[in-house]
């Protein structure tokens, strides 16, 4: 194994400058193209499906739309095509390195395109399978980091996983796919280097792997481990430099927000870098294993096509290409750095905007959630709002409860719509906060109004479960009866609920609860504010919402650094389980911050 890794490094090192230059330019270019087309495709599909915005309510319907499926297939094929060109180009480089020859980046790329065309002619449509089965081992690190960074992909994976009926079976199927794809690990060398057709290359790959299974698996695992270590090291080095820069140049009041904003950019950049290193490292190992397994099969020396030879070997032409590429790289870097610095400066300028605090479920980190005790804690913490969740029992009583099922908070395994209020009114809510909160019960909306009137404003989160179509009418009747409308805002994931509120009392502010932010909010007229999961909020969304005269509320923010980041983005309201911590963070404008403290915050 050590010999294979050593030889793999030698063929990388031989033309490392050309490889690095190609990978940087190619990865940046393809990443920009894919992200741009993806955003355009989602926008077109949203418009086609008569959605202005992508939300938790319409996400599954959006994914199942025929046009969305067509776009997904198109993007998968496009990304596989880009990967094929990259693999063919890198193999060209390795063949030159194996023959102890230098190759310039443009020569390498044009020959890679030529190899790609020949492969497609031999493989026909089956080329997709060849590349698809290679993805798990070639692009493991890129997939992990970019799925984490690209919010739409992240949310898609989470949603699909949540709807898998048997997660154990799903994990087993995924494991089998990985093992199955390992069988075709040598299909690319066979098809690209020897010109085999796709299916014959697959068969040859399976036979070769069966003879050398454990050595191949070990080399691939070690290669990916090395890539992982390099990626982590680059990430920590980048974070250290950013934290040092922020400590030296930024005010303590914005330090958390600025460094976290930079860390997101670093996440994206490291994902691209890790993807480039992973592809090169894994391909070099596969290439050298292939060479060894076929008994050091003699490699043909590659010659330039005659019609390109004079141009590509002309030194002046090379210098011009290098100059153009250099200018493009500098331009991309300048735009990126300027954009990052601009956002950092905006973060500094936005620090002193007033951001209100909402105690989530009364402050779920300090007291049993959605109880009178929790509300009292929120009042003591001087939160601006207390958020409570409203459900309806079988007999039409409005109670404060988040989950449809009572089991998590009370131990009673029953759905809210299955029980009468008298059956649950004396049940104690589970308590892990000490004797001070012993004996807390499930409160009614009336009890909450009595406690909160004149003391704290309310964010009433109305839950939709398909069985409570008249819940808004009942809630509005209670609000009117208690004359508490000026202390209430009403939010929900169900947009029709917000419409009903506006029809009955247009003066009560309404909020649309969303997980992610994608699309145009111009048509969401029944919402006065958007309640969005904090890590899906960015400056563009806040700006768009404010231009439309609407507020942005972020949930559920329990980490001090993220609270400060929300404030720097001019978010209007932070919904948190720890209102006392949020109040402290919002008032923090003086003092100093150490390198270690800020570094620890970023890594949490």
Distance (Å) of CA 312 to CA 91, 108, 317, 319 = 19, 10, 7, 11
Query: CA nearest 123: which of 84, 79, 73?
Result: 84
The full DSSP string for 368-395 is STTSHHHHHHHHHTT-SEEEEEEEE-TT
Tell whether 324 and 396 lie within a shared domain: no
Most confident of 88-97, 104-113, 519-528: 88-97
Most confident of 145-154, 461-470, 496-505: 496-505
Tell whether 400 and 481 lie within a shared domain: yes
CATH of the domain at 454: 3.20.20.190
**Model pLDDT for residues 265-310, shown as the tens digit of each residue:** 787 788 788 888 989 999 999 999 998 888 565 555 555 444 444 4
In the structure encoding, which two tokens stand for residue 220, read together? 């691939």
* Enclosing H/E stretch for 440: none
Specify the number of domains making up the chain. 2
Percent of the chain with pLDDT over 70: 87
Answer yes or no: is 593 within a domain: no
Answer yes or no: is 341 within a domain: yes
In the structure encoding, which two tokens stand for residue 210, read together? 């069966």
In the structure encoding, which two tokens stand for residue 550, read together? 């609407």
Q: What is the spatial distance between Cα 24 and Cα 328, in angstroms, rounded to a whole number?
A: 11
Q: Which of 299, 325, 347 is the last residue of a domain?
A: 347
Tell whether 418 and 523 lie within a shared domain: yes
The full DSSP string for 281-345 is HHHHHHHHHHHHHTTSPPPPPP---HHHHHHHT-HHHHHHHHHHHHHHHHHHHHHHHHHHHHHHH
Tell whether 427 and 319 lie within a shared domain: no
Tell whether 204 and 339 lie within a shared domain: yes
pLDDT of residue 486: 95
* Confidence (pTM): 0.74
Tell whether 394 and 294 lie within a shared domain: no
Domain extent at residue 105 = 2-347
Tell whether 170 and 90 lie within a shared domain: yes
Asked about 163 being catalytic, the answer comes back as: no
Check 40, 360, 546, 553 and give the catalytic one: 360
**Model pLDDT for residues 129-166, shown as the tens digit of each residue:** 888 888 887 777 777 766 666 667 777 777 777 777 88
CB 281 within 8 A of CB 363: no
Answer yes or no: is 403 within a domain: yes
Query: CA nearest 44: which of 65, 27, 58?
Result: 65
The C-alpha torsion from 424 through 495 and 361 to 365, rounded to 10°, is: 130
Q: Which of 302, 319, 347 is the last residue of a domain?
A: 347
Tell whether 45 and 128 lie within a shared domain: yes
pLDDT of residue 504: 95
pLDDT of residue 107: 83
Whether the per-residue pLDDT at 253 is higher than 60: the answer is yes
pLDDT of residue 294: 82
pLDDT of residue 352: 46
CB 185 within 8 A of CB 286: yes
In the structure encoding, which two tokens stand for residue 392, read together? 């309806």
Other C-beta atoms lying within 10 Å of the C-beta of residue 447 = 15
| Bridge partners (DSSP) listed for residue 231 | none
Tell whether 364 and 343 lie within a shared domain: no
Asked about 402 being catalytic, the answer comes back as: yes
Answer yes or no: is 169 within a domain: yes
Q: What is the spatial distance between Cα 26 and Cα 376, in angstroms, rounded to a whole number?
A: 58
Check 212, 402, 546, 553 and give the catalytic one: 402
- Poorest-pLDDT segment among 4-13, 444-453, 513-522: 513-522
Answer yes or no: is 115 within a domain: yes
Answer yes or no: is 594 within a domain: no
**Model pLDDT for residues 549-596, shown as the tens digit of each residue:** 999 999 999 988 788 888 878 899 999 999 999 988 877 545 567 788
Answer yes or no: is 602 within a domain: no
Distance (Å) of CA 534 to CA 123, 404, 558, 559 = 46, 24, 10, 11
- Poorest-pLDDT segment among 76-90, 281-295, 326-340: 326-340
- Poorest-pLDDT segment among 305-319, 323-337, 444-458: 305-319
What is the SS3 assignment for 477-523? HHHHHCCCHHHEEEEECCHHHHHHHHHHCCCCCEEEEECCCCECCCC
> Strand 398-400 to strand 457-462: parallel, antiparallel, or no bridges (unpaired)?
unpaired
pLDDT of residue 266: 83
Query: CA nearest 274: which of 327, 303, 219, 234?
Result: 234
From the centroid of its chain, how far is CA 218?
A: 30
Tell whether 321 and 463 lie within a shared domain: no
Tell whether 266 and 321 lie within a shared domain: yes
Answer yes or no: is 596 within a domain: no
CB 99 within 8 A of CB 300: no
In the structure encoding, which two tokens stand for residue 214, read together? 């454990």
Most confident of 230-234, 313-317, 505-509: 505-509
Q: What is the mean pLDDT of residues 455-465?
A: 95
Tell whether 583 and 479 lie within a shared domain: yes
Whether the per-residue pLDDT at 31 is higher than 70: the answer is yes
CB 284 within 8 A of CB 94: yes
Q: Which of 301, 322, 347 is the last residue of a domain?
A: 347
């Amino acid at each position: 194994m050590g010999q294979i890794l050593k030889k793999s490094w030698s063929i990388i090192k031989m033309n490392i400058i050309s490889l690095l230059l190609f990978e940087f330019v190619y990865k940046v270019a393809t990443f920009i193209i894919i992200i741009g087309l993806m955003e355009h495709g989602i926008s077109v599909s949203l418009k086609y499906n008569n959605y202005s915005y992508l939300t938790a309510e319409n996400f599954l319907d959006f994914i199942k739309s025929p046009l969305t499926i067509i776009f997904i297939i198109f993007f998968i094929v496009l990304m596989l095509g880009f990967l094929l060109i990259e693999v063919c180009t890198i193999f060209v480089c390795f063949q030159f390195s194996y023959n102890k020859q230098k190759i310039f980046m443009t020569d390498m790329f044009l020959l890679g395109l030529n190899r790609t065309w020949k492969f497609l002619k031999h493989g026909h449509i089956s080329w997709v399978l060849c590349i698809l089965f290679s993805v798990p081992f070639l692009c493991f690190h890129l997939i992990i980091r970019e799925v984490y960074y690209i919010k739409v992909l992240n949310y898609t994976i989470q949603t699909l996983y949540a709807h898998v009926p048997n997660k154990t079976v799903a994990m087993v199927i995924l494991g089998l796919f990985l093992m199955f794809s390992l069988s075709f690990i040598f299909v690319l060398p066979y098809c690209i280097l020897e010109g085999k057709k796709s299916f014959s290359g697959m068969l040859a790959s399976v036979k070769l792997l069966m003879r050398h299974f454990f050595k191949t698996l070990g080399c691939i695992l070690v290669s990916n481990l090395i890539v992982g270590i390099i990626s982590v090291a680059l990430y920590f080095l980048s974070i250290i430099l950013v934290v040092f820069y922020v400590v030296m140049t930024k005010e303590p009041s914005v330090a958390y927000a600025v460094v976290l904003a930079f860390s997101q950019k670093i996440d994206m950049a490291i994902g691209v870098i890790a993807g480039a290193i992973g592809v090169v490292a894994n391909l070099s190992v596969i290439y050298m294993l292939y060479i060894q397994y076929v008994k050091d099969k003699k490699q043909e020396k590659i010659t330039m096509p005659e019609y390109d030879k004079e141009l590509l070997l002309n030194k002046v032409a090379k210098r011009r290409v290098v100059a153009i590429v250099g200018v493009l790289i500098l331009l991309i870097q300048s735009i990126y750095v300027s954009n990052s610095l601009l956002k950092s400066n905006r973060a500094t300028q936005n620090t002193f905007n007033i951001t209100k605090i909402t105690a989530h479920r009364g402050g779920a980190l300090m007291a049993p959630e959605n109880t009178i005790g929790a509300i009292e804690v929120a009042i003591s913490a001087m939160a601006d709002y207390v958020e409570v969740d409203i459900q309806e029992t079988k007999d039409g009583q409005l109670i404060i409860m988040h989950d449809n099922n009572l089991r998590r908070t009370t131990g009673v395994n029953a759905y809210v719509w299955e029980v009468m209020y008298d059956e649950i009114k004396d049940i104690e809510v589970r308590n892990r906060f000490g004797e001070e909160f012993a004996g807390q019960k499930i409160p009614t909306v009336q009890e909450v109004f009595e406690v909160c009137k004149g003391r704290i404003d309310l964010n009433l989160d109305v839950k939709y479960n398909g069985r409570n179509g008249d819940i808004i009418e009942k809630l509005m009747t209670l609000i009117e009866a208690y004359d508490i409308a000026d202390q209430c805002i009403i939010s929900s994931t169900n947009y029709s609920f917000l419409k009903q509120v506006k029809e009955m009392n247009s003066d009560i502010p309404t909020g649309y609860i969303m997980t992610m932010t994608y699309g145009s909010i111009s048509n969401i007229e029944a919402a006065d504010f958007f309640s969005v999961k904090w890590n899906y909020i960015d400056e563009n969304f806040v700006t768009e919402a404010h231009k439309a005269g609407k507020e942005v509320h972020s949930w559920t923010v329990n980490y001090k650094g993220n609270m400060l980041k929300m404030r720097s983005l001019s978010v209007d309201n932070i919904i948190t389980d720890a209102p006392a911590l949020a109040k402290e963070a919002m008032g923090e404008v003086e003092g100093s911050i150490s390198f270690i403290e800020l570094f620890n915050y970023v890594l949490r």
